Structure 1
Amino acid sequence: MRYGRDVLKRVAAVAALLAAVATSTQASAASSVLRRVTNPNVSVEMVVQFGNDAQPVTIEENSRINIARVIQFGGTGTVDATIIQNGTQNYANVIQVGGTTNAAVGQSGLSNTADITQIGNSTNTLLLQTGDMNTGAVRQFGRFNWLAIFQFGR
């Protein structure tokens, strides 16, 4: 019973966050923050967007170690994120809130980790991992949820 109350509290907190984002971004254009550090050994990219007019995000990384994070709060609009990683170790994290959320993650390497959270009316995720150690976690909160996960060993 306690577990059920904890889940309800978390759902209420997410609903409050959605309401706050939706009302605060109604009249504002999208804003973005991009941080990028890249060299042949390590590539780290982070994109943060908020607003109804969020532009699609595409990150492509080809270093030995790749780390990508996308955070999008689209209000009632659509948010799209695509991450492509080729390296020895790949880590992708996507957090999306919007009317429609779309995420596509492709990873090729020895160790691949993807963590995707989507909140919206329609949530869509495609996750493709090729490597010896693949880990994928997807959480979708919406009315219409679509998910495809493909994991292949080398």
Structure 2
Amino acid sequence: MALAVLLTAVGTATQASAGSVQHSVTKGKVSIETVVQFGDNVQPVTIEENSPINIARVIQIGGTGTVDATIIQNGTRNYANVIQMGGTTNAVIGQSGVSNTAEITQIGNSTNTLLLQIGDMNSGAVRQFGRFNWLAIFQFSR
């Protein structure tokens, strides 16, 4: 049902409008946060999760401006996924836990990613499609 509402909102949005859907759930030892933004004036997103199991997903479809996402996760198992489209895309992900997974996809004129993972099992995938791409990955074991 939520997906149908999102698809309807995306379909009816005009080029100058901006839309946003955010959903957060923390129950017991699991924290899940999802943010979806679209339009010319998307706002910077910051997610901080401190549960044993953390899941964060950010989807930003912007115009020609800057699109920013920051995810900080401290827990046993951390998963982060960022998909960005815009003139300039910036993603910062910091994860500390036993098992860390991050996936970033960026499409824009300038794409920038900083990924820091501290844990025993770190996995990171970054896909950048742009004229100017910058990427730094730091993975440390405990």
Normalising by structure 2, report the TM-score.
Answer: 0.89
1:41 aligns with 2:24: no
Q: Deviations over 1:14-37 (max 9, x none)?
A: xxxxxxx9xx75322x21100100
Write 1 or 2 for the structure with the bigger share of strand: 2
Distance 1:85 1:64 in 2: 10
Match of 1:120 among 71, 83, 108: 108
Task: Find the partner of 2:71 among 76, 83, 86.
Answer: 83
Offset from partner CA, 1:69-113 (integer Å, 9 cap, x none): 000000212110000000000000000000000000000000000
Note if 1:102 corresponds to 2:57: no
Structure 2's unaligned 5+ residue stretches are 1-9
Residue correspondences, number: 131
Structure-1-length-normalised TM-score: 0.82
Cα distance in structure 1, aligned partners of 2:20 and 2:69 = 13
1:128 deviates by 0.1
How far residue 149 of structure 1 moved from its aligned partner, in angstroms, is 0.2
**Percent same amino acid at aligned positions?**
82
CA distance in 1, matches of 2:44, 2:100: 23
Q: Amino acid of the residue matched to residue 43 of structure 1? A: S
Task: Tell me the equivalent position of 1:63.
Answer: 51
Is the contact made by 1:40 and 1:64 (CA closer than 8 Å) also made in structure 2?
no
Name the one with the larger helix percent. Answer: 1
Gaps of 5+ in 1: 1-20
Alpha-carbon RMSD across the aligned residues, in angstroms, is 1.3
Structure 2 letter corresponding to 1:80 = D
| Greater Cα radius of gyration, structure 1 or 2 | 1
- Distance (Å, rounded) in 1 between the aligned partners of 2:26 and 2:51: 8
In structure 2, the partner of 1:26 is: 15
